[in-house]
Structure 1
Amino acid sequence: MTRQLGSQCVDSVDNDLEGDRALMMSSGMFRRWLKFGGSGGRSGGPGWLARSFRVYAMAVGFGGLAWMAWSLQTVEVADWGSVGLFTAFAILAEWSYVQLAEGFISPSLAVLLPAAVLHGPELAAAMGSVGFLLGHVLPIRRDWLAAVFNLGQLAASLLVAGGVYTLLGGHTGLGMGAVLDVVPLAGLTIGYFVVNHGLVGIHMSLRHRRVDWKLFWIEPARVDLVTFAICVPIGVAVLILYRVAGPFIADSLYVALFMGAHLLRVLVRLEAVNRELTSLYETTRELTGTLREDEVEKIAFRAAAALAPHDRAVFLRWDRTIEQLVVGRLIHPQADDLRGARIRPGEALVGEVALTQEGKVIIDGRSQPGMRLIPADDPIIGSALAVPLVADGRLVGVLAVSRSVPGTLNKGHLRVMSILAGQLATAADRASRYQEASRLAITDSKTGIFNYRYFYERLRDEMAKADDLGTSVSLIFIDIDFLKEINDRYGHAMGDAAIEEVVRVIGQSIRTTDVAARYGGEEFVIALPGAEPAEALAVAERIRVAVERTPFGKTAEDAPIRTTVSAGIATYPHDAGMVDDLIFRADEALYVGSKRRGRNRVAVYQSLSEQPS
């Protein structure tokens, strides 16, 4: 994303499209960073919009530079030494930027404001351009279109502001008296702010293909006003010292300013390291106390938010059975649609990292056209990184983040995120093993549904809840008819197929709140919380009919093979007051009411008990 070079010493940052309003700092002020050729979270779009965006950037850039060059033709330099000194200060201001979490800050406005008053806006624009080129563009190797736009925007803003200053009666020159032209100076500052802010607002609106007054105009203006309050007093102080105490004392203030910026850079770096260490320590402590995979994902996102600025994030689990990544928790505009999606190794950035098991950072997405964070996402036009979660040499998952601002993520973020990934991998692997062991402990190995031991405890809990709520719990006892004959006639593989078909039908016929389990052999039990006998009868009958109509296999002659089931129903508290009694009553209804009366039917214990003996 390209930088908006403005007259502020503190600069607002590009806001992501999801409304996450992060602030980035840059030269002269907290400058807004703008990306070229992107769409603010959406790729592509109407071609004329993309072209108009670039045309606008080039028009402002080359137009502002041409205006500056034309204006310099009539300028007479009174003191080349002072001009050279201010140019050196402009370079140092750009070079002595302070890197912050999502951008940087430099004191260039504190140099350009006095330069515009002492030497005129034309020379000030030239000084600022040289300072930006030598102090920022060349060391950081900025995108050419971004650099051109920034230079032209700087020149245009200073020249218009200088015109306002002159119109209000302001005077320029090195030999002025001690009294400042307050009103013209205010006009210079306000004029620069308005022009700079307007050029940036239009730029951002074209880039995002929409006009968002709050996002592109109001909030940046609020931040810019605060930054002006910081930089303007510094520039005014330099002017006062220049006129009252002389150039030597005024220039010494810049020396102190640059030394302060260097000290601030050290302090900011120390604070960043401390923040990283604190976050990693807190993450380790949290991960130690959890055995749930969803909690590991939550902790991962909290840590990533503190360690790497982003507007999109995704946690993917490695599914060993299908050998693919499965999308878990994510921050994304289409989160609901993408959750659970499967990604093969090698697909997009996350797939590439899964394949190589090595972390990767993309500092500027424009350097790798077409690269996506995940396959269903838009091409990366900002920064992105992904780190593999590897435990004991095995891939556990991938954590990836991205932001629509180029340069936001770098190798430093990759380093600390890789450390985080190591912690997450161990915790995720431990949680996965624990949850798998827990699942196996309560699951029937052949059918995949709950085993009877787990079912017994759940039934007891549901009966206790029914006591508190004044409701009922119905129990369906199901038995597959003539399963032994199926095994004898067609083989045990066909018998297993019959069991699997009955389990499938049961799963499709009950609610998510109901609990089904394998009682043993060909017998199954289903607990229906809150269900009365009539409701349980409807469920059991639905299961019986579906099993009867659905073949589970074919004979050697390609004829369908079907089976039937019998069921018995008992309801708490109508038929029994204890767990064992309820199961016994349902079993009695099954064998007395269904099996003995021809099978392939459903019997209710309450109706059975009301019949005359």
Structure 2
Amino acid sequence: MRVLQLFLERHRAGVSPILSSIIIKLYVLFLFTSHMVMSEEIKNQTDLSINEILRQTRWIIRLRWLAVGSVFASAALLRLFFPYRFLPVASIALFVLVYNFLAWYHYKYCSQNSSLCEEKDIQLNLQTQIILDILVIAWTIHLTGGVQSEVVPFYLVHIPFLGLAISRRTLFSHVGLITAILALLFGLEFYGILPHGDLGTTPDLDLYKDFQYIARRWTTITLFLLLGTYITNYLGTQFRHLLLAEQKALQQSESLKKVAVSLGSTLEWKETLNVILRSINELTFSDSAAIVLINDAGAKIIAGQGIPPHLINTTIPVAKWSHYKVLFKQNQSIITQPVNEADRFWKAVDVPKIKCSLYAPMISHNTALGILIIGSKIPNLYNKEDASLVQSLAHYAALSLENSQLYENARHQALTDGVTGLYNVRSLHNNLEQELTRSKRYGRKFSVLMCDLDKFKSYNDRYGHLAGDDLLRDLAALMTSVARRSDKIFRYGGEEFTILLLETRREHALVLAERLRKSVEEHEFILQDSGEISHITISIGLSVFPDDANAVKPLLKAADRALYKAKENRNKVFSYADC
């Protein structure tokens, strides 16, 4: 330590400017770097949550504290040898420390009370810090030689480079502020009102009095800043556009892949349509989206994102909504921006402040199925690329609806009887298994009616099999009208029918069976070809769970045994308990 002290005392005149210059330049470089990071935070604040912005900015301020602390430590160490040389540097560092501490305190308050802070408040705070940084660096230029300061090149390099990170409007406002401050300082220096300092430099004292030199210096700085910032901002904008286009293309590819996987892995059309709508909202930055089916009654909303949930599966009138006619006629997407009088959909679904809409027809095999609609509160948001993307996803939505319709048709055919339209024997076993499990769990009873047409073979022989099919359809309709809403009717096979009476005891089941038998007996069945009236009767067997059996097959066997006893006399109702 003593050797260092003797060396510094011997070379005081030469070491002082060198050390002060190093400290000042390193600190100004750090201010510029953090200035760049803060500007990047402002640009990206719409892509981050408020808490994330606050967290990152507070880390930047902590790093600034570290730099300020280094300045103080350097000044304190060298103060032993150069008592007053570093006082201005320490004063600047103290000023930076104060306003950064205030900013940090504000961010901490916002992070603890995020509901009270808005993004515009955070942006204002960041911009204020950056402007204060510009003032600090300008004053540092004045203290380090003014018009001849070695810190000026930092401005010439840093500000144009900053054009890669921030918007053109913000950038040129910074350039205007810098050139105005430098003009003021150079002018005050020229007239001797505010002489420059000589920290870290040995300036030529005559140059600051040369007006032509000052004018050329200021003009060169201004032109360099304007031209440099314009070029770098243009390059940065083009680079960001390319990057955004690449990211958007990647997102679109991933979303289309997700939709295709969903379409191939599930036949639940509601799930697929919701995946499509979520993907569209993410890719096009939309606020609301819906899929509607057009019919004679109007537009039925079958899926939606960002619209009131109670409107799903409701129908809205389209008498004055002209878009859907043009969509199906032209078979291409329509963008309405701003929303005009013909665009009545968003008013109908009570979604306010929609500024632009995009409509895409859902057409499959030349059949119009519906419309995919998206809307945004940002004016003029959608373009041709968005229209092409939404049209592709509308095609996926149409395929999903078509596949689900085919699946439902196949499922309906597999579980229903083709002649009567009633559930078939496969559906009977499925329903019995479910009801058996439920009744066991809750300790409840249910009944089964096994019904058989009397002398149906003679009817077929007399009138033909087609008339027999007509009779079965008429009988199914009659049984449906007599049964309760909770009862389920199945065609067991041939002329046999089964009725499942949920939560029904034996005495009530016998009453219902008797009412059905009497209704069939009194009904007039009319032959479609000749108009001849015929009468038929049915026999009914009854079994009850768990009194007669506690499994599906034994329960059906008990009902069939009771039916056999009823068929001995025909047109009767018989219970298994009486067998």
Could you say which TM-score interval applies, normalised by the shorter chain?
Answer: 0.5 to 0.7
Q: Note closer, same or farther for the CA distance 1:555–1:497 as it changes in structure 2 (3 Å cut).
A: closer
Alignment map for 1:46-57 (pairs within 5 Å):
none
Decide whether the 8 Å contact of 1:347 with 1:375 is kept in 2.
Answer: no
| Equivalent residue number for residue 403 of structure 2 | 430
Residue 271 of structure 2, aligned match among 280, 285, 295 = 295
Q: Does 1:370 align with 2:342?
A: yes
Q: Distance in 1 between matches of 2:381 and 2:436?
A: 56
| Equivalent residue number for residue 387 of structure 2 | 414
| Equivalent residue number for residue 185 of structure 1 | none
Q: Does 1:439 align with 2:412?
A: yes
Decide whether the 8 Å contact of 2:290 with 2:304 is kept in 1.
Answer: yes
Q: Note closer, same or farther for the CA distance 1:547–1:598 as it changes in structure 2 (3 Å cut).
A: closer
Q: Distance in 2 between matches of 1:443 and 1:340?
A: 28
Q: Distance in 1 between matches of 2:477 and 2:345?
A: 37
Q: Distance in 2 between matches of 1:372 and 1:349?
A: 9
Q: Distance in 1 between matches of 2:331 and 2:319?
A: 10
Matched to 1:227, the amino acid is Q
Render the CA deviation track for 1:464-484: whole Å, top value 9, x for unaligned: 554555544421222345666
For structure 2, list consecutive stretches of 5 or more residues without a partner in the other structure. Answer: 1-42, 48-91, 97-113, 135-173, 184-217
Q: Distance in 2 between matches of 1:531 and 1:402?
A: 52
Cα shift at 1:384: 2.1
Q: Does 1:225 align with 2:121?
A: yes
Answer 1 or 2: higher relative contact order, Cα 8 Å, separation at least 6.
1
| Equivalent residue number for residue 78 of structure 2 | none
Q: Does 1:286 align with 2:262?
A: yes
Q: Note closer, same or farther for the CA distance 1:556–1:288 as it changes in structure 2 (3 Å cut).
A: closer
| Equivalent residue number for residue 277 of structure 1 | 253
Q: Note closer, same or farther for the CA distance 1:245–1:259 as it changes in structure 2 (3 Å cut).
A: farther
Residue 402 of structure 1, aligned match among 375, 387, 405 = 375
**Greater per-residue helix proportion:** 2
SS at match of 1:300: helix
For structure 1, list consecutive stretches of 5 or more residues without a partner in the other structure. Answer: 1-96, 102-177, 183-217
SS at match of 1:476: strand
| Equivalent residue number for residue 241 of structure 1 | 178
Moved more, 245-254 or 355-364: 245-254
Decide whether the 8 Å contact of 1:569 with 1:603 is kept in 2.
Answer: yes
| Equivalent residue number for residue 313 of structure 1 | 289
Cα shift at 1:441: 1.8
Alignment map for 1:340-359 (pairs within 5 Å):
341=315, 348-359=322-333
Q: Distance in 2 between matches of 1:501 and 1:342?
A: 37
Q: Distance in 2 between matches of 1:544 and 1:341?
A: 42
Q: Does 1:605 align with 2:576?
A: yes
Render the CA deviation track for 1:528-576: whole Å, top value 9, x for unaligned: 4554334544554565566667766599999998766543221233213
Larger of the two Rg values belongs to structure? 2
Matched to 1:425, the amino acid is A
Q: Distance in 1 between matches of 2:125 and 2:481?
A: 66
Q: Distance in 1 between matches of 2:515 and 2:276?
A: 45
Matched to 1:590, the amino acid is L
Cα shift at 1:281: 2.0
Q: Note closer, same or farther for the CA distance 1:316–1:518 as it changes in structure 2 (3 Å cut).
A: farther
Render the CA deviation track for 1:31-62: whole Å, top value 9, x for unaligned: xxxxxxxxxxxxxxxxxxxxxxxxxxxxxxxx
What percent of counterpart residues are identical? Answer: 23
Q: Distance in 2 between matches of 1:407 and 1:428?
A: 31
Q: Does 1:451 align with 2:433?
A: no
Matched to 1:500, the amino acid is R
Q: Distance in 2 between matches of 1:341 and 1:280?
A: 29
Render the CA deviation track for 1:476-507: whole Å, top value 9, x for unaligned: 22234566677788887775555334434554
Q: RMSD over aligned Cα, in angstroms?
A: 5.0
Moved more, 294-303 or 439-448: 294-303
Decide whether the 8 Å contact of 1:478 with 1:525 is kept in 2.
Answer: yes
Render the CA deviation track for 1:324-376: whole Å, top value 9, x for unaligned: 9764223576765662649899974345434443332223222xx23444996
| Equivalent residue number for residue 86 of structure 2 | none
Alignment map for 1:329-340 (pairs within 5 Å):
329-331=303-305, 336=310, 339=313
Q: Note closer, same or farther for the CA distance 1:348–1:545 as it changes in structure 2 (3 Å cut).
A: farther
Residue 268 of structure 1, aligned match among 239, 244, 261 = 244
Q: Distance in 1 between matches of 2:342 and 2:242?
A: 37
Q: Does 1:576 align with 2:552?
A: no
Q: Distance in 2 between matches of 1:550 and 1:233?
A: 91
| Equivalent residue number for residue 561 of structure 2 | 588
Decide whether the 8 Å contact of 1:350 with 1:400 is kept in 2.
Answer: no
Residue 447 of structure 2, aligned match among 474, 479, 489 = 474
Cα shift at 1:602: 3.9
Decide whether the 8 Å contact of 1:497 with 1:552 is kept in 2.
Answer: no
Render the CA deviation track for 1:105-156: whole Å, top value 9, x for unaligned: xxxxxxxxxxxxxxxxxxxxxxxxxxxxxxxxxxxxxxxxxxxxxxxxxxxx
Q: Distance in 1 between matches of 2:129 and 2:519?
A: 82
Decide whether the 8 Å contact of 2:298 with 2:315 is kept in 1.
Answer: no
SS at match of 2:118: helix
| Equivalent residue number for residue 499 of structure 2 | 526
Q: Distance in 2 between matches of 1:227 and 1:288?
A: 46
| Equivalent residue number for residue 172 of structure 1 | none
Cα shift at 1:457: 4.1
Decide whether the 8 Å contact of 2:301 with 2:311 is kept in 1.
Answer: no
Cα shift at 1:431: 3.5
Matched to 1:503, the amino acid is A
Q: Distance in 2 between matches of 1:330 and 1:551?
A: 50
SS at match of 2:544: strand
SS at match of 1:268: helix
Q: Distance in 2 between matches of 1:279 and 1:363?
A: 25
| Equivalent residue number for residue 88 of structure 2 | none
| Equivalent residue number for residue 335 of structure 2 | 361
